[in-house]
Structure 1
Amino acid sequence: MRKVKVRLRPIVNKINLPTVIKTTVLPGDFTERLFIATQVGEIFYIGNGEIRLFLDIRSRILKLGSSEPGVSGRGYDERGLLGLAFHPGFHINGLFYLHYSVVGTQGPGALSESFKPNPCDPKTLNLRWTNRDTQYDHIDTVEEWMFQSNGQPQKRRTLLNLRRPFFNHNGVNSLNFSPETGKLVLTTGDGGAGYDPFNLSQDEMEIAGKIIEIDVEKQTSIANPPVVTRFNELPIPIQETLTVIAKGVRNIPGISFQRYHNQYIKYVGNVGQDLVESIFSFVQYKPIPVTQIVGHGGGPTNQNGFINFGWRGWEGSFPTSTISGCTANPQLDEKVIAYYNEAIQTSVRRIQPLTSYFHKDPRSDKFEGTALTGVQPYMGTGIPALTGSVVFTDIARKEESLSPVRGALAFTTVRPDCKLSDFQVIETDYDFGPQSAYYVSLGTNLDQTRLFLGVYGSMNVTNLNQGTVFEVIP
């Protein structure tokens, strides 16, 4: 593949963790403006060359960065303000949508100790999430807000309240509108803890580990939806607003859409466990109404066209494996298939990745990744070598020579023969100096002709004001 080198132009700095970057046109305005949502609960936009506060919901978000079972140290967190999406008619109706972790909902977690499957111990392969009302980590909410004529956003209604088993894998950049259906798309992770201990992602009745469409045009009379974990716990009027696009999700940095003639290619990145990060693409799909899932009792519907990314049986193109070091040779490790039966059962039902990159990679022209943080198509002409390609980011390259930490920027393309695509690293010329640079988010403008990169100086949400948003330019 061709080599590409770009520049990073700083747009705004000294902000908190930028989790969502996108553009829209404010009601009564005519200029497309850049919006930035931070994990701690701020939403900013760039107006007339300066950063302005659009909304501050920090008081609505639970305390971030507290110690968690199975997580070393304090400060790292995957909760907070996770999703921001503007209605396609936002410039007229002022409607926008938020996904965040609710203040005061902290629980003890669904397991008292860290989890790792043991193929020799059936108990570890067949855990169930019991006592859900008390054994959970926190509650996420999805809300509809309106930007009022006086310039003050106000909450209108709650769409969903979701009880989450663990602190991680809640999705990020988790709300986006589909240009195909006009529906709000929610991408939810599998609930966390690693290895999906309760196999929520493959159970069609579970909300965790799915891509869900929400018909926001359907108004329900339910002012305060119940807190749920499964679709059959939702009132029927809310069930009737939901369809499921896909299952088998581990954790997703959003969904993006690329127009191709008269249809859209959908791109989804699935964050890996220990081996590989994967990007999937699909065009045709057949969403399942939640009312049908509930009526079917949650068993496999076996519908053709329903997307399955394969987790937890598959990590991208590989059967999910546990890893242990080789005592005879510390340079090597042993990989044991964690869920052999599930890998077999989902082997022909899942879709293959468009491309993958690895946590260990001996090739000199690649990089060793940690976690996928953004996937966006680029349709601009300013960087001709990237036109029509799919750009993605990883939070931190693992190469030992990189100190301090640097993230990674790369791209791939869809092959006409639909086979697995290769990827190419995008070189950047920006000097971050002695500061760490974690690549935490990737965004575009409305017509996907500009790319924006969110960078943070720490992995900890409690280390404030270390964020910069760059534009990727020739």
Structure 2
Amino acid sequence: MIKVKVNLRPLVRKINLPTVLKTAALPGDSVERLFIATQVGEIFYLGNSSLKTFLDIRPRIIKLGTFEPGVSRGGYDERGLIGLAFHPQFYYNGLFYLHYSVAGTQGPSALPEQFKPNPCDPKSLSLKWLNRETLYDHIDTIEEWVLHSSGQPQKRRTLLNLRRPFFNHNGVNSLNFSPETGKLILTTGDGGAGYDPFNLSQDNMEIAGKIIEIDIAKDTFIYNPPVVTRFNELPAPIQETLTVIAKGVRNIPGISFQRFYNQYIKYVGNVGQDLVESIYSFIHYNPIPVTQLVQASSMKSELNQEEFINFGWRGWEGPFPTSTIKKCPTNQALDEKTIAYYDEAIKTSVRRLQPLTSYFHKDPRPNKFGGTALTGVQAYMGNGIRDLTGSVVFTDLARDKESHSPVQGVLAYSRVRADNKLSDFSIIETNYNFGSQSSYYVSLGTNMDQTILYLGVYSSMKVTDFNQGTIFEVTP
């Protein structure tokens, strides 16, 4: 693949950890503005070279960095304000949508200790999430807001209230509108902990681990929905607004649509467990109404799942069967890898979607890198960086620490091949000098026509280390 070099032009400095970067034109405004959502609950926009506050919901956000009342994880957290989307007609109707973790909903977590499957112990492979109303970590909410003509945003209604089993894998950049259907797309992670202990991602009734379409044009007249974890717990009017695009999701940094003649290529990334990060692409899909899923479940009947996208998790981690890893006693440089869920890997081996490309946590090949976690996937259709036109660009949180100090994230790209075979990827080289500070690449965004790329960088992995973020425009 062509080696691409880019510049990083700083736009904003010293902001809190950025989770969403996207643009919109404010009602009555002739200019498309860059909006930045932070994990702690702020939304800013860049106007006339200065940063302006659009909305501040910090009091609505769960206390970040603290777990199981009073237990700290050193400031690392995956909750907070993790989704922001503007209605396609935002300029005219002022509607926008938020996904965040709700203040005051901290629970004790669904499991008392860290989980790891043991193929020798069948009980560890068939755990059930019991006592869900008391054993959970927090509640996420998806809300519709409106920007009034006075310039004041106000909440209109709640679309979903989701009880989450663990603090992590809630998705990020989790709300995006489909240019094909006009519906709001919600990408939910598997609920967390690692290894998906309850196999929520493959269960058709579980909201966790899915890509969901929400028809926001339908008014359910239910403005405070019940807190749920399963589709069949939702009131019928809400079920009727939902369709499911995909399952088998571990954790997704959003969905990106790329116009291809009269169709759209959909790109999503699935964050890996221990071995590999994967980017997927698909054009055709068969969204299944939640009402059909619920009916099939209640009648215990098999659903026709042709073209129902399945990423294969938890049986598959990208191109590999999901593995548990142990150090080899005679050689600490090697690892013993055992298939964690053999039966599930077999069941999903044919139905699962193969990745477009994958990159690995350890990679000895020249011009590659050892990654940590996928943090952004975006189509690029601009002509400014000609060698990237028509590609899919992605970011990794931090290059393998053994190969790079101080820590720095990675920008890379790939392309869909005409023969639909596994694509290669290439690092995008940047000339920006971050100095001695760590620079984690935490978010990736574009403008509305995908001709500009924006990169969010943070100098800490801790959301409680404040004001350490910089937003860059990626330039030729």
Corresponding residue number in structure 2 for 1:153: 153
Corresponding residue number in structure 1 for 2:327: 325
Corresponding residue number in structure 2 for 1:306: 308
Corresponding residue number in structure 1 for 2:136: 136
* Alignment of 1:49 onto 2:84: no
**Contact 2:401–2:407, Cα closer than 8 Å, also in 1:** no
Corresponding residue number in structure 2 for 1:119: 119
Where do residues 131-210 of structure 1 align in structure 2 (5 Å cutoff)? Answer: 131-210=131-210
Corresponding residue number in structure 2 for 1:290: 290
Distance 1:44 1:241 in 2: 30
Distance 2:125 2:337 in 1: 17
Instruction: Provide the secondary structure at the position in 1 that maps to 2:332.
Output: coil
Corresponding residue number in structure 2 for 1:91: 91
Corresponding residue number in structure 2 for 1:406: 408
Indicate which of 391, 394, 415 corresponds to 1:392. Answer: 394
- Bigger mean CA offset, 9-18 vs 396-405: 396-405
* Alignment of 1:451 onto 2:453: yes
Distance 1:233 1:172 in 2: 24
Q: Which ranges of structure 1 fall in alignment gaps of 5 or more residues?
A: none
Distance 2:305 2:112 in 1: 37
Q: Name the % identity.
A: 77
**Contact 2:186–2:211, Cα closer than 8 Å, also in 1:** yes
Where do residues 333-352 of structure 1 align in structure 2 (5 Å cutoff)? Answer: 333-352=335-354
Instruction: Provide the secondary structure at the position in 1 that maps to 2:333.
Output: coil
- Bigger mean CA offset, 393-402 vs 82-91: 393-402
Q: TM-score, normalised by structure 2?
A: 0.98
Distance 2:454 2:222 in 1: 38
Q: CA deviation at 1:401?
A: 3.4
For 2:381, give the aligned amino acid: M
Task: Report Cα offsets for 1:366-409 as digits up to 9, x if no partner.
Answer: 01000000000110011111010110000000141311110000
Distance 2:16 2:50 in 1: 16
Task: Report Cα offsets for 1:436-465 as digits up to 9, x if no partner.
Answer: 100000000000000000000100000000
Distance 1:149 1:221 in 2: 24
* Alignment of 1:20 onto 2:15: no
For 2:231, give the aligned amino acid: F
For 2:98, give the aligned amino acid: L
Corresponding residue number in structure 2 for 1:420: 422
For 2:428, give the aligned amino acid: I
Task: Report Cα offsets for 1:34-71 as digits up to 9, x if no partner.
Answer: 000000000000001100000000000010011469x9
Corresponding residue number in structure 2 for 1:280: 280
Distance 1:265 1:442 in 2: 18
**Contact 1:68–1:167, Cα closer than 8 Å, also in 2:** no
Distance 1:73 1:27 in 2: 41
For 2:247, give the aligned amino acid: K
- Bigger mean CA offset, 48-57 vs 292-301: 292-301
For 1:404, give the aligned amino acid: P
For 2:285, give the aligned amino acid: Y
For 1:197, give the aligned amino acid: P
Superposed CA RMSD in Å reads 1.1
Instruction: Provide the secondary structure at the position in 2 that maps to 1:332.
Output: strand
**Contact 1:205–1:294, Cα closer than 8 Å, also in 2:** yes
Instruction: Provide the secondary structure at the position in 2 that maps to 1:409.
Output: strand
Instruction: Provide the secondary structure at the position in 1 that maps to 2:280.
Output: strand
**Contact 1:367–1:399, Cα closer than 8 Å, also in 2:** no
Distance 1:284 1:406 in 2: 36
For 1:32, give the aligned amino acid: E
Task: Report Cα offsets for 1:214-261 as digits up to 9, x if no partner.
Answer: 000000111210000000000000000000000000000000000000
* Alignment of 1:358 onto 2:360: yes
Instruction: Provide the secondary structure at the position in 1 that maps to 2:200.
Output: coil
* Alignment of 1:9 onto 2:9: yes
Distance 2:122 2:329 in 1: 26
Q: TM-score, normalised by structure 1?
A: 0.99
Q: CA deviation at 1:302?
A: 3.2
**Contact 1:19–1:38, Cα closer than 8 Å, also in 2:** yes
Distance 1:152 1:72 in 2: 35
**Contact 2:107–2:135, Cα closer than 8 Å, also in 1:** yes
**Contact 1:67–1:74, Cα closer than 8 Å, also in 2:** no
**Contact 2:65–2:73, Cα closer than 8 Å, also in 1:** no
Distance 1:430 1:289 in 2: 47
Task: Report Cα offsets for 1:283-306 as digits up to 9, x if no partner.
Answer: 000000000000111765232110
For 1:56, give the aligned amino acid: D
Runs of 4+ in 1 over 6 A off after TM superposition: none
Instruction: Provide the secondary structure at the position in 2 that maps to 1:21.
Output: strand
For 1:341, give the aligned amino acid: D
Corresponding residue number in structure 2 for 1:471: 473
Instruction: Provide the secondary structure at the position in 2 that maps to 1:330.
Output: strand
For 1:295, give the aligned amino acid: Q
Q: Which ranges of structure 2 fall in alignment gaps of 5 or more residues?
A: none
Distance 1:411 1:360 in 2: 18
Instruction: Provide the secondary structure at the position in 2 that maps to 1:7.
Output: strand
Distance 1:16 1:383 in 2: 29
Corresponding residue number in structure 2 for 1:215: 215
Distance 2:67 2:427 in 1: 35
Task: Report Cα offsets for 1:342-363 as digits up to 9, x if no partner.
Answer: 0000000001000000001001
Distance 2:46 2:315 in 1: 43
Corresponding residue number in structure 1 for 2:66: 66
